[in-house]
Amino acid sequence: MDIIKQIKNVFEQAWKSLSPPRPFSWQTFIALSVFSWVMSLLTGSEFVKDAVSTLGWLFLTIGVGWALTDHPIKVFDISLGPWITGALACTGLFGTWTEGDSSLPYVSWPIISAILAGIPKFLKPGPVFTTPKPSARQDLVLLILVNLVFSCWFQFHFLIQDWLEGYPSLLIDDFGKSAFVTKLSSQTMEVSRGSALLDLAEPLVEEELENLSWAETESWLADVDQRIAAIKPEAIARLSDLTENAVWDLQAQVLSANPGYDLRLQAVWQGPSSVPAGYYVEKACLITRVPDPSGSPEDTQASNQVTCQPVGPPIFGQPNTPSGSEQQPTV
Amino acid sequence: MVSPILPLRMIAFQSLFLLITISIEAFVLHRELKLSNQKSIQYAASINLLSTVMGWIIFFIVEPFIPRELKEQLMNYIFFDQFFSNIWSGSLTALVIVTGFLTFFLSFIVKVQGLDLLQLLLQDRVTVNEPELDRANKYQMARRAVKDQRIPRGEATAILHANAASYSAIVLILLLRLFIQST
């Protein structure tokens, strides 16, 4: 019985503190906000839902702002109220903070909080709008400027993200020496788009060599630089269209392997990099001849691609295991 | 939204530089304009924050118009602290030097105008180094309606000295960092 009485007491206390003492107080606004939220759940039409939920955010913002003015939460002598209220206002005005192109709430949050923090200086008890005293103006100036700097910092972050979206192959690189950014996760799961480029180049090369005789193949391989340069625009066109495509180059090297030839397809990165000469990724293709009863069809073999970090183009990285079946060479 | 790359170092460096420049400029303003310690710190803070914000705004406005190869050099500098060889490599030294001069003079102008605006806002006119004018001179000046005396020469000179001092400090820190990294 005692416990039940205590629980009842707690509820009574909570109800007392949350119920509005006068019609025009912050509790009213919180209640209105909850009411709006419930209403928005009940209505079916999208438009009404949006309107009501915006109203709900507005009431919530006003309510919280008012509550925090009466009972401020302070950190190091600076009231946190305007920043919390500002965050709520930005959410209500600009939508979600995590999806899609979410830069607007972050960038506007410091400015709006500064404005909210500065509003009291413009009011005389009344409330009457007035220009602030000169002694209060210096604080206002510093408040607004500091928050503008924060906004600029947020904006810079989103600018960097935009750059990285255009040049995702940068993410596999080492950002240790940067004076501007840090890489938070040490794991790099990204695979350079050079691999995608080589995967796209492979069928094009196969297509080229498909119906050639061995002599023609050898002359193709002798002329490989120009042949690959001819394939390059097609291969790059098949990549997803990003700004970084302009700094990828497709090259090839031919070595003689014991049966046939070893064609190394190389995607060379010519853009920003921590290593001055850039890097390249390589795909080794073994080109051999398969005997056939009716003629001598060409058969090209691609083993896996290899990623490397070289100082200059002709230096290799680690080879991977070849995929696909081996063909018997002709003698 | 969660990205592994955050501009935390930039924030740290800029905060550090702001603290240093504000302290240095406050000191210079205090000595040359004979302002109280609190006033000189407030003035220095205001004009430096203003100049920083202006700088960022100019950067954000100019950035979309930078040609692709030059932007790649900029990215290489921001992400990897070096430059690489493309068509802009030859002109980079000249570009960096010109940019350095431009930022010095632009920040100087912003700070002078900023201080003027601030004093106007705070109704705090400080008149410095105004020579004692006798009646004849005063009438002469009034007749000529000298408009360009709005910024007393004393303040512009003080800000020039302050700017020079703070930029020298920044350059020293950057050189120090370069030196430490190369050992």
Let me know: does A275 contact A311? Beta carbons within 8 Å.
yes
| Whole-structure pTM value | 0.76
pLDDT tier, A268 (very low <50, low <70, confident <90, very high otherwise): confident
In whole angstroms, give the CA distance from residue B107 to residue B55: 8
Residue A189: pLDDT over 60: no
Contact A147, A114 (CB under 8 A): yes
Whether the per-residue pLDDT at A195 is higher than 80: the answer is: no
CA–CA distance, B158 with B29 (Å, rounded to integer): 6
Question: Which of A96, A138, A142 to substitute to test the interface with B, most B CBs within 10 Å?
Answer: A138
Burial of A258 (0-12, 13-18, 19+ CB in 10 A): exposed
Reported as a single tens digit per residue, the pLDDT across B156-180 is: 899 999 999 999 999 999 899 888 8
CA distances from A156 to A99, A159, A233, B59 (A): 18, 5, 34, 10
Alpha helices (runs of H) in A223-325, residue ranges in sequence order:
224-238
Give backbone dihedrals phi and psi of A44, rounded to 5 degrees, phi first.
-95, -40
Residue A209 has pLDDT above 60, yes or no: yes
- For the residues A210-224, what does the mean pLDDT come to? 77
Residue A267's pLDDT band, with cuts at 50, 70 and 90, is confident
Buried b (16+ CB within 10 A) or exposed e, A273-284: bbbebbbbbbbb
Side chain identity at residue A106, one-letter code: Y
Find chain A residues with C-beta within 8 A of B72's C-beta.
247, 271-272
Question: What is the reported pLDDT for A193?
Answer: 75
**pLDDT tier at B141, thresholds 50, 70, 90:** low
Evaluate whether A210 touches A159 at the Cβ level (below 8 Å). no
**Class of residue A113 by CB neighbours under 10 A (exposed 0-12, middle 13-18, buried 19+):** buried
pLDDT above 50: residue A319: no
Average pLDDT of the residues in A72-79: 68
SS3 at position A252: strand
Q: Note the pLDDT of residue B131.
A: 54
A323 has pLDDT over 50: no
Over residues B115-130, the mean pLDDT reads 72
- Give pLDDT, residue A310: 30
Q: Which of B52, B79, B173 to mutate to test the interface with A (most CBs of A within 10 A)?
A: B79
Model pLDDT, residue B145: 54
Residue A159 has pLDDT above 80, yes or no: yes
Q: Model ipTM? A: 0.83
Q: What is the mean pLDDT of residues A197-214?
A: 76
* A216 compared with A190, residue with greater pLDDT: A216
Amino acid A311: pLDDT: 26
Residue B80 pLDDT level (bands cut at 50, 70, 90): confident
Q: What is the pLDDT of residues B7-59, one digit of tens each?
A: 899 999 999 999 999 999 999 999 888 888 888 999 999 999 999 999 999 99
**Is pLDDT at A173 greater than 90 in this prediction?**
no
In angstroms, the first-to-last Cα distance of chain A is: 99
Q: What pLDDT digit, counting tens, does each position of A130-139 carry?
A: 777 777 788 8
∠ CA(B42), CA(B48), CA(B54), 5° rounding?
135
Number of H helices, E strands in chain A: 9, 9
Tell me how far apart the alpha carbons of residues B1 and A249 are, in angstroms, rounded to a whole number. 30
Whether residue A55 is predicted with pLDDT greater than 90 in this model: the reply is no
Is residue A311 within 8 angstroms of chain B, CB to CB?
A: no
User: Would you call A315 an interface residue with chain B, using a CB distance cutoff of 8 Å?
Assistant: no
In chain B, whose CA is at the least distance from the CA of A184? B4
For residues A236 and A197, is the Cβ–Cβ distance under 8 A?
yes
Tokens 């935390």 correspond to B8
Strands A279-289 and A298-308: antiparallel
Distance from CA of B141 to the nearest CA of A (A): 30
Confidence band of A8 (pLDDT split at 50, 70, 90): confident
How far is the alpha carbon of B135 from chain A, nearest alpha carbon, in Å? 33
How much is the pLDDT for B170? 92
For range A107-125, the mean pLDDT: 80
Residues 143-172 of B with CB under 8 A from A: none
Share of chain A above pLDDT 90, in %: 4
| pLDDT for A97 beyond 80 | no
